[in-house]
């Protein structure tokens, strides 16, 4: 319980609330009662129509195959649903196929054919005086009518709901007459002024200004609200810091999804159409033996920083670093209709950036490295893999494995793809390929046609040069 150490708003309102205008309250109560009854009627009709449609859909295949056993099973399970008292299945010519529960014995055929009304009212049951409403569903398969399904509901629950609602409205109307507003002007001055201040401050916070605070001191519920909002703002700052820190360990896209979607924190995945790049350093083992641990760390961090920047420019992200190899993902977790081109273009961008970086480092007497790259696209499983205590977002599947195998077969500074990318007209219209050779790929029985990516076509060259300069100008060394 909240400790009441202040004068509550309800008492402040009591000072300005004296009498409610009786006439307006009665009119309001009458309108509410009428609207409520209409709303209840519409709700039961919507519920009945929806449930009848669902049940009718279950009968389509059994009616088409004349499977009476399945029809009986569907009816038995449907009659267990609360408020359903009877179900009838009728042929297209109006003949009764099966009837269970409370049901109208004689249904005029014109009632079934009347497209203007899909329900009718009747009385029956054990006491012969229960009000029922039956909804008509038409079973159709491939635009062929299979018959009709009638689902009957007890309408007494609607009458009771209307009565309860009417009594509640009468009681609330009387209460409003006792404690109604005396002056809307005084109330708006008392309440809306601080609320508008809260709205303005909340708007600033919504725009990302987390340093904004609610500084007004109110000795009532608004004061408690201000304190709560200030605490919330502090939490938003903490979340932004956590998201920024988390983005250094996983992709910013994955970090954002994890922090905003609780389902993204569960194990499991979904099948996606995406593209992957594996960029592997040539001769890294020998190179690392000739370097100190600090030199190896600096070298990897430098080159991987360029690769990360290139992936973001191309609408992808680094899925993981595997030793001296970087795995890049396009089309997941965010969908990308042009993920294949973005992956291919990114591989060219990486090699061109590495080429320029190597030339610069060579002129400075620094060690340079070459990358070999494999690119592939296709269906793969994307999601959280691992255990509940330690998981990572990644992709798995044959398409991913083939990209890794192509990388191991690529020559230094080369980019290898297979038929699925090289023969794609959407990609060939923008990228230049050259046939390489048929290669034996581990895990695949047939030889695989491989192609080398040579360059972008002339119309994309200016864009590529701009992206190269963008990556180099925002590099780790220039920060």
Given pLDDT bands bounded at 50, 70 and 90, which one contains residue 315? very high
Please give the structure tokens belonging to residue 242.
């956590």
Q: Where in the chain is the domain with CATH 3.30.450.20?
A: 25-160
To 5 degrees, how large is the angle CA 242–CA 245–CA 250? 110
Most confident of 6-10, 65-69, 174-178: 65-69
The C-alpha atoms of residue 246 and residue 234 are separated, in whole angstroms, by 18
For all residues of the chain together, what is the average pLDDT? 80
Higher pLDDT: 181 or 356? It is 356
**Helix, strand, or coil here: 436?**
strand
The C-alpha atoms of residue 352 and residue 331 are separated, in whole angstroms, by 23
Query: What is the pLDDT at residue 16?
Result: 57
The C-alpha atoms of residue 151 and residue 303 are separated, in whole angstroms, by 68
Number of alpha carbons in the 13 Å side-chain half-sphere of residue 360: 9
Range 63-92 average pLDDT: 87
Most confident of 27-36, 210-219, 291-300, 415-424: 415-424
Cβ burial of 457 (10 Å; 0-12, 13-18, 19+) is exposed
Query: What is the pLDDT at residue 131?
Result: 78
Query: What is the pLDDT at residue 188?
Result: 60
CATH superfamily of the domain spanning 264-473? Nucleotide cyclase, GGDEF domain (3.30.70.1230)
Whose CA is closest to 130, among 105, 157, 108?
A: 157
C-alpha gyration radius of the chain: 35
The C-alpha atoms of residue 228 and residue 224 are separated, in whole angstroms, by 6
pLDDT at 479 over 50: no
* Least reliable range by pLDDT among 2-11, 14-23, 439-448: 2-11
pLDDT at 12 over 70: no
Range 340-366 average pLDDT: 94
The C-alpha atoms of residue 35 and residue 328 are separated, in whole angstroms, by 58
Query: What is the pLDDT at residue 1?
Result: 39
Tokens 């790929």 belong to which residue? 441
Answer yes or no: are the C-beta atoms of 245 and 262 closer than 8 Å.
Answer: no
Most confident of 55-59, 108-112, 195-199, 205-209: 55-59
Higher pLDDT: 140 or 12? It is 140
Q: Where in the chain is the domain with CATH 3.30.70.1230?
A: 264-473
**Helix, strand, or coil here: 163?**
helix
Query: What is the pLDDT at residue 402?
Result: 94
* Least reliable range by pLDDT among 10-14, 45-49, 323-327: 10-14
Given pLDDT bands bounded at 50, 70 and 90, which one contains residue 234? confident
Query: How are beta strands 415-418 and 448-456 bridged, if at all?
Result: antiparallel
* Least reliable range by pLDDT among 52-56, 391-395, 411-415: 391-395
- A 10 A CB-CB count for 473 gives 9
Fold of 25-160: Beta-Lactamase (3.30.450)
Query: What is the pLDDT at residue 193?
Result: 66
Q: Report the percent of the chain where pLDDT is more than 90.
A: 32
| Contacts of 238 by beta carbon, 8 Å cutoff, 6+ apart | none
Query: What is the pLDDT at residue 268?
Result: 66
- A 10 A CB-CB count for 270 gives 9
**Helix, strand, or coil here: 13?**
helix
Query: What is the pLDDT at residue 461?
Result: 94
In degrees and rounded to multiples of 5, residue 73 shows phi and psi of -65, -40
Query: What is the pLDDT at residue 3?
Result: 46
Query: What is the pLDDT at residue 341?
Result: 97
Range 221-246 average pLDDT: 69
Query: What is the pLDDT at residue 247?
Result: 55
Please give the structure tokens belonging to residue 239.
């979340």
Range 115-128 average pLDDT: 66
Answer yes or no: are the C-beta atoms of 37 and 165 closer than 8 Å.
Answer: yes
The C-alpha atoms of residue 232 and residue 107 are separated, in whole angstroms, by 62
Given pLDDT bands bounded at 50, 70 and 90, which one contains residue 424? very high
Please give the structure tokens belonging to residue 13.
């309102």
Given pLDDT bands bounded at 50, 70 and 90, which one contains residue 19? low
The C-alpha atoms of residue 277 and residue 343 are separated, in whole angstroms, by 7
Query: How are beta strands 325-330 and 316-322 bridged, if at all?
Result: antiparallel
Given pLDDT bands bounded at 50, 70 and 90, which one contains residue 42? confident
Chain segment 70-79, per-residue pLDDT in tens: 989 988 998 8
């Amino acid at each position: 319980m909240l400790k009441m150490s202040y004068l509550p708003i309800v008492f402040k309102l009591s000072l300005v609330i004296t009498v409610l205008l009786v006439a307006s309250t009665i009119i309001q109560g009458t309108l509410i009662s009428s609207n409520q009854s209409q709303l209840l009627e519409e709700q039961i009709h919507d519920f009945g129509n929806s449930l009848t449609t669902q049940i009718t859909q279950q009968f389509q295949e059994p009616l088409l195959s004349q499977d009476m056993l399945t029809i009986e099973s569907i009816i038995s399970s449907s009659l267990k649903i609360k408020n359903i008292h009877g179900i009838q299945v009728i042929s297209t010519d109006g003949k009764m196929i099966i009837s269970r529960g409370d049901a109208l014995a004689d249904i005029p055929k014109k009632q079934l054919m009347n497209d203007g009304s899909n329900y009718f009212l009747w009385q029956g049951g054990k006491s012969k005086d229960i009000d029922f409403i039956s909804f008509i569903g038409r079973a159709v398969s491939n635009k062929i009518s299979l018959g009709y399904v009638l689902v009957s509901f007890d309408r007494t629950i609607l009458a009771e709901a209307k009565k309860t609602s009417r009594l509640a409205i009468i009681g609330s109307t009387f209460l409003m007459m006792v404690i109604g507003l005396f002056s809307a002007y005084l109330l708006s001055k008392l309440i809306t002024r601080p609320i508008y201040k809260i709205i303005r401050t909340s708007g600033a916070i919504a725009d990302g200004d987390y340093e904004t605070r609610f500084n007004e001191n109110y000795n009532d519920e608004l004061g408690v609200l201000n304190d709560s909002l200030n605490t919330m703002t502090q939490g938003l700052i903490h979340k932004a810091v956590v998201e920024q820190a988390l983005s250094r360990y996983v992709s910013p896209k994955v970090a954002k999804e994890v922090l905003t979607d609780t389902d993204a924190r569960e194990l499991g995945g979904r099948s996606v159409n995406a593209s992957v790049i594996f960029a592997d350093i040539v001769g890294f083992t020998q190179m690392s033996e000739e370097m100190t641990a600090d030199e190896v760390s600096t070298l990897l961090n430098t080159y991987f920083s360029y690769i990360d920047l290139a992936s973001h420019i191309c609408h992808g992200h680094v899925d993981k670093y595997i030793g001296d190899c970087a795995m890049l993902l396009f089309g997941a977790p965010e969908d990308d209709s042009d993920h294949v081109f973005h992956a291919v273009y990114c591989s060219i961008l990486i090699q061109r950036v590495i080429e320029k970086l190597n030339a610069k480092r060579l002129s400075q007497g620094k060690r340079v490295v070459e990358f070999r790259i494999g690119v592939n696209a296709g269906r793969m499983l994307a999601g959280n893999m691992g255990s509940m205590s330690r998981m990572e977002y990644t992709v798995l599947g044959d398409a991913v494995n083939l990209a890794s195998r192509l990388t191991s077969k690529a020559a230094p500074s080369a980019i290898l793809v297979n038929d699925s990318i090289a023969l794609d007209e959407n990609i060939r219209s923008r990228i230049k390929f050259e046939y390489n050779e048929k290669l034996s790929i581990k895990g695949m029985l047939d030889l695989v046609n491989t192609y080398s990516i040579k360059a972008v076509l002339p119309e994309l060259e200016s864009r590529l040069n701009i992206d190269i300069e963008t990556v180099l100008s925002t590099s780790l060394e220039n920060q």
